[in-house]
Amino acid sequence: MRMKQLLASIIVGIGALAASTSALAVDMTGAGATFPYPVYAKWAESYKKATGNGLNYQSVGSGAGIKQIKAKTVDFGASDKPLGLEELNTAGLMQFPAIMGGVVTVVNIDGVAPGVLKLTGPVIADIYLGKITKWNAPEIAALNPGVKLPAEEITVVHRADGSGTTFLFTDYLSKVSPEFKTKIGADAAVKWATGVGGKGNEGVASTVQRVKHSIGYVEWAFAKKNKIAHTQLKNKEGTFLQPDDENFKAAAASADWAKAPGFGIVLTDQAGKNSWPITGVSYILMHKSQADAAKGKEVLKFFDWSFKNGNASAVELDYVPLPDTVTKLVSDSWKANLKDASGKSIW
């Protein structure tokens, strides 16, 4: 009898310890942009090891992320398209930058190695307008002397969901092609003139891999991870560039974060001989009034920890970490804007 009582007390004790440990762990939820998903996943893995607190981030696209944070079904939303002050204020939200990176065009053409094909913004715009329809078209051939281009129809691949990556891509094309700006425009979701859709950067990447003679656009980390052939792009200064973190960083060099309302900066088509033409910022959206102050503070602790400890992993994935001067501005904005139910700052 004593042995049974002893075993019972041990089991109860173990159960209480497990419940206590579980109660101490804080799991956060976020949803939105697929553009930063690889680095957020890496940061979450490292943060879990360091603190025991987890992050469940849903890579569902910027449009869905904005909807979910507005509906208060997640602790934070993520978008590669910065929201304007009016929309932020109406929804009671604040936004801050978390990471920077580049969007690249990817292709599936037999015999054309990664990084060999050269394209310009106007040519890409005409492809997505349905005006250039074959890979051996004169406009493409003129940019690629010596490259064997097939006389095959181009399959255009674009995002099927509301997407910050689409915003960056269409914003760039709208800047370099007046016709694209008039007919398609720049937004997270647009009415495409041609092509097939894929959901998320993952969907576009897998479609381009599967469909011969296709072209698409994805975040650079997805192109590298999936070993899809990327193209060179001609920037504003007339330089053909390969995508890398140094060229993304060059595009961000002139950004004046302190004067940007809501940190809203778009880095497409920036000046500078080394500036990658489709560079972007991924933003985090949170409610100014935090119903669960402890959970809100944990989100801030996660990003603060990542800003201080996650730069190496971000660079490995070819993202550009925020400069220390910017993370200081971000931290100050947390203190000023994020409050608990009593109006006290949670940071």
Band (18; pLDDT cuts 50, 70, 90): very low
- Using one digit for the tens of pLDDT, what is the confidence trace for 175-206? 999 999 999 999 999 999 999 999 989 999 99
Distance separating alpha carbons of residues 259 and 187, to the nearest angstrom: 23
Q: Are 165 and 34 in contact (CB under 8 A)?
A: yes
Res 109 pLDDT > 70: yes
- Using one digit for the tens of pLDDT, what is the confidence trace for 213-228? 999 999 998 898 889 9
Question: Residue 24: what pLDDT?
Answer: 57
Domains in the chain and their CATH numbers? 30-101+279-337 (3.40.190.10), 102-258+267-277 (3.40.190.10)
* 273: amino acid identity, one letter: K
What is the mean pLDDT of the segment spanning 121-130? 98
Res 169 pLDDT > 80: yes
Question: Residue 9: what pLDDT?
Answer: 43
What is the mean pLDDT of the segment spanning 2-24? 43
Give, rounded to a whole angstrom, the gap between the first and last alpha carbons of the chain: 54
For the whole model, what pTM was predicted? 0.87
Res 301 pLDDT > 60: yes
Least confident span in 19-28, 125-134, 324-333 = 19-28
Give 281's strand partners: 100
Sequence-distant (≥ 6) Cβ neighbours of residue 295 within 8 angstroms: 26, 28, 75
Q: Can you read off the two tokens belonging to residue 319?
A: 């993202």
Question: What phi and psi values does residue 215 have, to the nearest 5 degrees?
Answer: -140, 140
Band (208; pLDDT cuts 50, 70, 90): very high
- Percent share of the chain, pLDDT over 90: 87
- Using one digit for the tens of pLDDT, what is the confidence trace for 261-288? 999 999 999 999 999 999 999 999 999 9
Question: Residue 225: what pLDDT?
Answer: 85
Question: Residue 7: what pLDDT?
Answer: 40
Closest CA to 338 of 76, 7, 111, 74: 76
Res 73 pLDDT > 80: yes
Burial letters 225-263, b for 16+ CB under 10 A, else e: eeebbbbbbbbbeeeebebebebbbbbbeebebeeeebb
